[in-house]
Amino acid sequence: MELASYLRDPIVLDHDIDVEQIKRRLQLGEHPFVFVERSGELYALNSIFLLLELERKAQARFAPAQLINSSPIKIISLSELSAHVLDVLSQEVTLVRHKEELQYFRREDYLLAMTASGTDTDHAWLRTLFSSIPKGLMIVNLRYAVVNTNEETLRMLKMSRPQLSNTSIQELFGAQHFDHVKSTQAPLLNQVITLAKKATVLVDFVPLMMNQAMTGFALVLQDLPSVEAMAMELDSVKDLNQDLEAILSTIYDEIVVVDAQGVLVRASAHFIAGQWQNPPNSLIGARILECKSAGDVICRVFVEVQRKKQKVSLMGSGSDPILCVGNPIFTDHGELERVVIASRDLSEVSQLQRELEKTRKQGETYRQQIEWLQRQIKHIPGSVVVYASPLMDEVMQEVQRVAQFAATVLIVGESGVGKEVIADLIHSLGERRSNPFIKINCAAIPETLLESELFGYEKGAFSGADRQGKKGLFVKAHKGTLFLDEISELPLGLQAKLLRALQEREVYPVGGTTPVKFDVHVIAATNRSLLGLVAQGKFREDLFYRIDVYPIEVPPLRDRREDIGVLANHYLHQFNQTYRRDLRFSSSAIELLEAYDFPGNVRELQNIVQRLAIRNDTDVIDVPVVEKIVLHAGAAEGKKQPRNVQIVPLKQALEKVENEMIALAMKRYHSTTLAARALGVSQSTVSRKYSQIRDKVQLSPVTAPLREEKQS
């Protein structure tokens, strides 16, 4: 049958079509395909798919261009068809010009025409190709007669052509397979069939369609042993490929493989974003020299390897350095086959070098600061402030800041927090550190002598006075620092004279008429609220504002419990050095000390550490000895509670005593773990019972917040 008998006139759709009109045109003739024109080119569209879309959208007018999902169809002259056979076989439909008219045919039409014809010399090579394909091919009509077959089919079936012609194809391959394809008009693939001569083949059954009607069957046969060998080889290659992909995915460097012509054949998942516009594994098959996405350094490495036929290393320029190394792979004949290019981003190395240099400079800065602190410590005659808490760190920053100036400083804090140590440190860090630092406790000197101590007196000023007179502390502290401790205890009468002295920077000695000038840095300290005393009329308001130039508040030890451990170890170290001992605290002992409020602050902590060091009989100061000392200190602090002497049921009395002991332990230790250890019960028992009595317990107003631990 000639190919011309299969040609059809095409239906070409405009940009906007009438839905009902196109339906009528498709129903009048056999048109498996319609064509859509766009930008001067024609695109094939399956007519059944088009009708389904028209029904789904239910529109009066429709633009078919939106359904295009394929490439444009190239128009071929029918007389030149033999030169484009491969193009015809690669697409479902072909447009041809025949007798100056545009017509089309389907791929199966072409195959039927070629296999059924034995006289068309122009297409003899196609029949030769059909015969030489290394798979069995067979065309069967609807009467199950063999229309055509190749030699490979005869070899697999172990039959001659006459034998095959006299064989029932239905019985040979099974009628159910043909019936299934005929009923579904869909291919039936990968059917394993054992033939009568013990041969086993893998068969694909494909329907042959023409004008939307089935005209026969195409059978593709494969020898099962060869299929199994191919499958095993394919599995081996697949496993090898998976191993290779796993290796490439774990390598830190970027790996790309190109062939001798520069075509990218493999790439690792990891890549350097700076030298690719798109991931390289998405560019497989592209030439890297023609691909704008590839980095310049990779292209240069490939060109150099291709030219030199040896390993090449190049460094990429720019802010982020990249090292690329190209390794050639040769065939057995010494020809270049592949180039493996490994790239490493050196920006991280540069970043590490910069961070190392930054760390080195920071270390140098720390060294200079330590040396400066060591020099400063040498000038400090008193004790060094030991701390670890953020609160004390803020205080020390204020101390360092104000020490550079001669502004009057008012240090406020509870008794024993170390106000005198802070004052000593301010003087030692200031420019006046080589001059006198005079301390006076305003509460320790009788009122009658306080004026003469501060301002001095002339000879004969009062009975019992030194015949030579005496310089006051203001004059003795000239060019230095005067520390007025407990300034809140100054008598009101003397406060006025102190105010004048601070304002005028001069004093009149007792019994004198000539003022004496002085230049001192005044530091005052108090453990009371001066504003409260001002409100009570016990402290002059003008004097308060004169000395409250730069206030520094030293927090109590209970508010900076982080300092308790370091201070305790510091005082124990001093004790060890003095008495040549080697004592140390256990971690549990430090936790117990940190749970105590220390109403006497640092001074009380220092005394307790000395007491613990003396009382302890071993090298480790542990919980038992600390419990005794701390509980004794807590008992001395609080008042004894009267016992209930009324007779009550024993169970009620025991419950009351138990609650009192739990409340006392929690007040003292502020920790369920430490309280449980002191009471000799489990932590969960203390936590549960204390939660039941918590609302009934009134804790001290200075008690630190309760610290609940999770049960271990």
pLDDT at 572: 93
| Model pLDDT for residues 154-181, shown as the tens digit of each residue | 888 888 888 888 888 888 888 999 999 9
For residue 514, pLDDT beyond 90:
no
- The most confident of 128-142, 279-293, 511-525, 697-711, by mean pLDDT: 511-525
The one-letter amino acid code at 111 reads L
Tens digit of pLDDT for each residue in 96-116?
988 888 999 887 777 777 765
Q: At what angle do helices 683-693 and 672-679 cross, to 10 degrees?
A: 110
Query: Cα–Cα distance between 112 and 132 in angstroms, integer?
Result: 18
Percentage of the chain with pLDDT > 90? 21
pLDDT score for 98:
86
The winner for highest mean pLDDT among 81-85, 338-342, 368-372, 376-380 is 338-342
Residue 328 has pLDDT above 50, yes or no: yes
Query: pLDDT higher for 605 or 85?
Result: 605
Residues paired with residue 102 on neighbouring β-strands, in sequence order: 97
**pLDDT per position as a tens digit, 607-661:** 999 999 999 889 999 988 888 888 666 555 544 444 444 566 777 778 878 888 8
Q: Is pLDDT of 712 > 60?
A: no
pLDDT range class, residue 546, cuts 50, 70, 90 = very high
Is the pLDDT higher at 251 or at 504?
Answer: 504
Q: How far apart are CA 64 and CA 432, in angstroms?
A: 96
Alpha carbons 35 and 15: distance in angstroms, whole number: 11
**pLDDT for position 128:** 64
Do the beta carbons of residue 26 and residue 34 sit within 8 Å?
A: yes
Provide the mean pLDDT of the chain.
Answer: 80
Q: Kindly provide the residue ranges of all beta strands, DSSP E only, lying in 475-608, ordered along the sequence.
A: 481-485, 506-507, 516-517, 521-526, 550-553, 584-585
Q: Which helix (H) or strand (E) holds 216?
A: strand 213-223
Q: What is the pTM of this model?
A: 0.43
Q: What is the pLDDT of residue 315?
A: 79
Instruction: Average the pLDDT over 457-474 and give the result.
Output: 72
Question: In angstroms, rounded to a whole number, what is the distance separating the alpha carbons of residues 380 and 428?
Answer: 5
Sheet with 254-259: list strands edge to edge: 264-267, 254-259, 336-345, 322-330, 312-316
pLDDT at 53: 72
Confidence band, pLDDT 50/70/90 cuts, at residue 436? very high
Q: What is the mean pLDDT of residues 224-236?
A: 61
Averaged over 286-306, what is the pLDDT?
80
Crossing angle between the packed helical segments 19-28 and 47-57, to the nearest 10 degrees: 150
Ranges 450-464, 563-577, 637-651: which has the least confidence: 637-651
The 10s digit of each residue's pLDDT in 20-72 is: 777 777 766 667 788 888 878 888 887 777 777 776 666 556 666 667 777 78
Report the pLDDT value the prediction gives residue 419, as an integer from 0 to 100.
Answer: 93
pLDDT at residue 537 in the model? 92
| Phi/psi at 619 (5° precision) | -75, -20
Lowest mean pLDDT among 101-110, 114-123, 505-514: 114-123
- 166 or 555, greater pLDDT: 555
Return the SS3 of 54.
helix
Q: pLDDT at position 86, please? A: 65
Longest pairwise C-alpha distance within the chain: 158
pLDDT at 707 over 60: no
Residue-level pLDDT at 639: 44
Which of 63-67, 365-369, 401-405, 445-449 has the least mean pLDDT?
63-67
Least confident stretch, 118-127, 186-195, 638-647: 638-647
Band of residue 696 on the pLDDT scale cut at 50, 70, 90: low
Q: What is the pLDDT of residue 456?
A: 84
Quickly list DSSP for 409-430: EEEE--TTS-HHHHHHHHHHHS
Q: Which residues pair with 621 in a beta bridge?
A: 585
pLDDT at 689: 84
Q: If you average pLDDT over residues 347-375, what whole number do you get?
A: 78
Residue 700 has pLDDT above 60, yes or no: no
- Asked whether the predicted pLDDT for residue 701 surpasses 80, the reply is no
pLDDT at 703 over 60: no
**pLDDT digit string (tens) for 667-678?**
777 778 878 888
Among 263-277, 346-360, 440-454, 628-642, which is the least confidently predicted range? Answer: 628-642
Helices (H) and strands (E) in the chain, counts: 26, 29
Query: Is 70 exceeded by the pLDDT of residue 130?
Result: no
How many percent of the chain have pLDDT more than 70?
81
Q: Is the separation of the CB atoms in 589 and 623 below 8 Å? A: yes
Q: Token pair for residue 115?
A: 């296999």
Q: What is the pLDDT of residues 235-259, one digit of tens each?
A: 677 777 777 777 766 676 788 888 8
What residues pair up with 264 in beta bridges, in sequence order?
258
Mean pLDDT of all residues in 550-558:
94
> Where does the pLDDT of residue 583 fall: very low under 50, low under 70, confident under 90, or very high at 90 and above?
very high
Residue 136's beta-bridge partner residues? 221
pLDDT at 554: 95
Residue 92's pLDDT is: 77
